[in-house]
């Protein structure tokens, strides 16, 4: 978006241009769809969701909120690792995802089961068994690599977890990860106190392993899970990243209710926003 948007005068008339009460700024195009669903559920005023093309631009717009009390808009971030490093500006009009990214809210057990059944896996006992394997694989990755991944994130180094499950297993059912599969990635030089502080912050947080894991990584596990367990009419499941995301967003409306583990978080956070409607 043009840099003009960062002037106070420009920011104050964006909602008028869209003829809405509130502008909500997000990171990217996929975030627009997700946050539109969230705000339609909990926010009573009219709004428009605008993506700024990345987190650095979103941080700039968030900083403007802190610097000018006359500005009234909402900024919605992925949580990422901000519970460990306080990287996000603090302001009442800044909201985050419950977990690492939007994918962590979309990819919950009920959604996984629904998609798996749509792909032909109808044996509920087998589905539960395979989900337990998937969950334990994520858990061992978080247990072994989270602290190092946060350290690398804080120091602008390459992520040790990354965005794809494939790096940890080149063959077989690649979402089946054991501790020995991670031996090449575990660092013995990580500061002990830093490791303890990250583990303590995680243990005291509301997050599960499926919440704290990188959202893109979680997405890749789901894609492989569906591919390997598909009992569809075809010999293999040809499901693209875009198709999977659209399916997740589609089934999300059906299971995002009080039973969803993130529901109350968004209800309380969006409900606490107090944006004055334009006169």
Contacts of 146 (CB under 8 A, 6+ apart): 161, 198, 199, 202, 212
CB 256 within 8 A of CB 263: yes
Choose among 219, 263, 269, 212: nearest CA to 96: 269
- What is the model's pLDDT at position 210? 97
- What is the model's pLDDT at position 188? 81
- What is the model's pLDDT at position 4? 42
- What is the model's pLDDT at position 144? 96
The H-assigned helical ranges of the chain are 8-18, 29-42, 55-67, 82-85, 102-106, 109-118, 124-154, 192-203, 209-212, 215-229, 241-255, 263-271
Find residue 77's DSSP bridge partners.
96
Give the span between the Cα atoms of 37 and 245, in whole angstroms: 14
**Cα atoms in the 13 Å half-sphere on the side-chain side of 174:** 18
- What is the model's pLDDT at position 14? 84
- What is the model's pLDDT at position 3? 47
Burial class, 269, CB count within 10 angstroms (exposed 0-12 / middle 13-18 / buried 19+): middle
| Backbone angle region of 239, left / alpha / beta, with phi > 0 → left and psi within -120 to 50 → alpha | beta
- What is the model's pLDDT at position 18? 82
Which SS3 state, helix, strand or coil, does residue 194 take? helix
Give the span between the Cα atoms of 214 and 103, in whole angstroms: 9
> For 23-69, what is each residue's pLDDT tens digit?
999 999 999 999 999 999 999 999 999 999 999 999 999 998 888 87
Give the span between the Cα atoms of 253 and 126, in whole angstroms: 26
> For 238-269, what is each residue's pLDDT tens digit?
788 999 999 999 999 999 999 999 999 999 99
- What is the model's pLDDT at position 172? 58
Residue stretches of the chain with pLDDT short of 50? 1-4, 233, 277-279
- What is the model's pLDDT at position 39? 97
């Amino acid at each position: 978006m043009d840099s003009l948007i960062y002037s106070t005068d420009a920011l104050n008339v964006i909602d008028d241009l869209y003829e809405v009460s509130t502008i909500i700024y997000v990171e990217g195009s996929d975030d627009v769809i997700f946050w539109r669903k969230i705000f339609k559920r909990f926010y009573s005023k009219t709004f428009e969701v605008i993506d700024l093309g990345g987190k650095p631009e979103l941080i700039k717009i968030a900083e403007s909120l802190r610097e000018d009390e006359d500005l009234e808009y909402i900024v919605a971030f992925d949580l990422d690792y901000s519970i460990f490093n306080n990287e996000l500006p603090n302001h009442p009009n800044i909201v985050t995802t419950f977990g690492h990214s939007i994918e962590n809210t979309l990819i919950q057990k009920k959604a996984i089961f629904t998609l798996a059944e749509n792909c032909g896996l109808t044996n509920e006992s087998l589905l539960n068994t395979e989900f337990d394997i998937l969950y334990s694989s994520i858990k061992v990755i978080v247990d072994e690599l989270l602290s190092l991944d946060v350290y690398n994130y804080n120091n602008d180094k390459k992520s040790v977890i990354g965005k794809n499950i494939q790096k940890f297993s080149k063959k077989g059912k690649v979402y089946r990860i054991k501790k020995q599969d991670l031996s090449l990635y575990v660092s013995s030089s990580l500061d002990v106190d830093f490791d303890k502080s990250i583990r303590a912050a995680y243990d005291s947080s509301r997050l599960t392993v499926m919440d704290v894991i990188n959202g893109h990584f979680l997405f890749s596990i789901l894609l492989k899970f569906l591919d390997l367990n598909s009992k569809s009419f075809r010999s293999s499941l040809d499901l693209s990243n875009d198709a999977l995301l659209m399916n997740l967003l589609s089934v999300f409306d059906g299971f995002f209710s009080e039973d969803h583990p993130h529901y109350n978080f968004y209800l309380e956070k969006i409900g606490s926003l107090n944006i004055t409607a334009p006169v």
